[in-house]
Amino acid sequence: MCLRSSVKGLQMLGAEDKKRLVVVGGGIGGAFVAHSLQFVADVVLIDQKEYFEISWAGLRSMVEPSFAERSVINHTDYLPNARIVSSAAMSITDNEVFVSDGSSVPYDYLVVATGHEETVPKSKTERLSQYQAECEKIKAANTILIIGGGPTGVELAAEIAVDFPEKNLKLIHRGSRLMEFVGFKASQKALNWLTSKKVEVILQQSISMQSISEGVYRTSGGETIAADCHFMCTGKPIGSQWLKETVLTNSLDIHGRLMVDKHMRVRGFKNVFAVGDITDLQEIKQGYLAERHAHITSKNLKVLLMGGNERKLATYKLGSPLAIVSLGRKEGVAQLPFTTISGCIPGLIKSGDLFVGKTRKELGLAP
Ligand SMILES: Cc1cc2nc3c(=O)[nH]c(=O)nc-3n(C[C@H](O)[C@H](O)[C@H](O)COP(=O)(O)OP(=O)(O)OC[C@H]3O[C@@H](n4cnc5c(N)ncnc54)[C@H](O)[C@@H]3O)c2cc1C
């Protein structure tokens, strides 16, 4: 029997005959697994919020709140055939997931995709209002301090510098160079671009949040910075704290990442997979790679759901360190396998629509 006809056969099974697949985490990794398997298994997506958000489009939404109408997508829009549980997962046993609303969700197969911890509103409406409020905050300020020079801080500084060139912008970063996750050349190009837009970049210093009083921020170097408002753009913790006292505890590495095998299965388990930023794969943490993890995982789950032989499981090949950082609406910096480029070519690839139309199409929605 060929794979395609078997999948068709699975699609014809009644809900009661289908295996139960629970996906925890509705970021790009979890969303793509749930989307691709919603007709072949009895899928439940557990996410603490009601929507999937194209995370790298959020900084554009801070300067143009209407942008979020396309990049914040209710799970129900692309998952017509799955059940959504909008609560945080608290614990896992061998066969069920416990959720903060007091319920438990049984599973035959589980995918963990809780990337990074975040505190965001539960509903799309609240999320859109939050972007509106952040935009008002930017508009009302003369001097803005951005704390953190990773990709979030750099992309936010660039968005504000392009859309509000009259603002006085300062970016402070603890490290010796911006965006340590990419190579030296890419971070230098981003620094040069920001400096050319009159963003003041202060490296190797941090801000203690306790030290802020009436618009005055004290740096670790003993200097003071006056600003009307600030945005925290420091890294978020890995979303695995909730796994520490569960059956998966021994599958976490010292950084709190889930160790996976070459088929994306969590080490020590035959029916538990992990995708996205939470995995211990030795590659940069990017959404397009989370999408590739989701693709291999979905393929392997289809084999297992059909009772296929383990030898048929596909193997994941590590991605190369490709990254594009947008610099406003038309420019960017791209780290490619053999070179680094900046300017309008990376801008053309990413910065206009920020892959929003592409991602929506992949989820079966109008771009
Ligand atoms: C500024 C910036 C720009 C970027 N640009 C790009 C880019 O251009 N291209 C690219 O490919 N990547 C980019 N990335 C990286 C990309 O955003 C991440 O790699 C990607 O979002 C990881 O996806 P994920 O599904 O693993 O996790 P996440 O996106 O972190 O999603 C995790 C999900 O799990 C949920 N969750 C967490 N804990 C729980 C729990 N206990 N119970 C229930 N739900 C839970 C969260 O609510 C969230 O929905 C960028 C990142 C940043 C910060």
Tokens representing residue 90 in the block: 């608290």
Query: Going by CA atoms, what residue is nearest to atom 20 of ligand 1?
Result: 287
CB atoms < 10 A from the CB of 213, how many? 8
Structure tokens at 29: 């990794």
Q: Is residue 199 one of the residues assigned to a domain?
A: no
Residue 76, in any domain of the structure: no
Single-letter residue type at 209? M
Q: Is the CB of 46 under 6 A from ligand 1?
A: yes
User: Could you tell me if the CB of 58 is within 6 A of ligand 1?
Assistant: no
Q: What are phi and psi of 240, to 5 degrees?
A: -125, 5
Distance 58 CA to ligand 1 centre (A): 11
Helix, strand, coil percent values for the chain (each to nearest 5) = 35, 25, 40
CATH code assigned at 95:
3.50.50.60
Token pair, residue 54, equals 């194209």
CA-to-CA distance for 180 and 153, rounded, in angstroms?
Answer: 12
| Domain presence at residue 108 | yes
pLDDT for 325 equals 96
Return the residue whose CA atom lies nearest to atom 27 of ligand 1. 115
239 CB under 6 A from ligand 1?
yes
pLDDT value at residue 213:
78
pLDDT in tens, 25-46: 999 999 999 999 999 999 999 9
Domain containing 112 equals: 3-48+87-118+236-319
Contacts 24+ apart (CB under 8 A), 343-351: 349/324, 350/324, 350/326, 351/326, 351/327
Give 53 Cα–ligand 1 centroid separation in angstroms: 8
33: Cβ below 6 Å to ligand 1? no
- Token pair 């992949």 in the structure block, residue: 362
What is the domain count for the chain?
Answer: 1
Cα(254)–Cα(139) distance, rounded to whole angstroms?
43
Of 113, 166, 158, the residue nearest 273 (C-alpha): 113
Distance 222 CA to ligand 1 centre (A): 35
Spatial neighbors of 19 by CB under 8 A, at least 6 apart, are 41, 42, 108, 109, 305
Ligand 1 centroid–CA 214 distance in Å is 33
277: nearest Cα among 257, 295, 259: 257
What's the predicted TM-score (pTM) here? 0.93
Q: Within its chain, how far is the Cα of 72 from the centroid?
A: 12
Does a structural domain hold residue 353?
A: no
Type of residue found at 342 = S
Question: What tens digit of pLDDT does each residue of 140-196 get?
Answer: 999 999 999 999 999 999 999 999 999 999 999 999 999 998 889 999 999 999 999
Residue 208 lies in a domain: no
Residue 143 lies in a domain: no
Does the beta carbon of 43 lie inside 6 Å of ligand 1?
A: no
Tell whether ligand 1 has an atom less than 6 A from the beta carbon of residue 29: yes
Mind listing the pLDDT tens digit for each residue in 161-173?
999 999 999 999 9
- The SS3 assignment for 176 reads coil
- Per the domain annotation, does 176 fall within a domain? no
Please name which of 315, 317, 319 lies closest in space to residue 265, comparing C-alpha atoms: 315
Indicate the burial class of 314 (C-beta count within 10 angstroms; 0-12, 13-18, 19 or more).
Answer: middle
Residue 10 is predicted with a pLDDT of 54
Q: Does residue 315 belong to any structural domain of this protein?
A: yes
For the record, the structure tokens of 152 come out as: 């979030």
pLDDT beneath 70, residues of the chain: 1-16
> 139 to each of 131, 199, 231, 364, how far by Cα in Å?
12, 17, 13, 36
CA of 47 to the centre of ligand 1 (A): 12
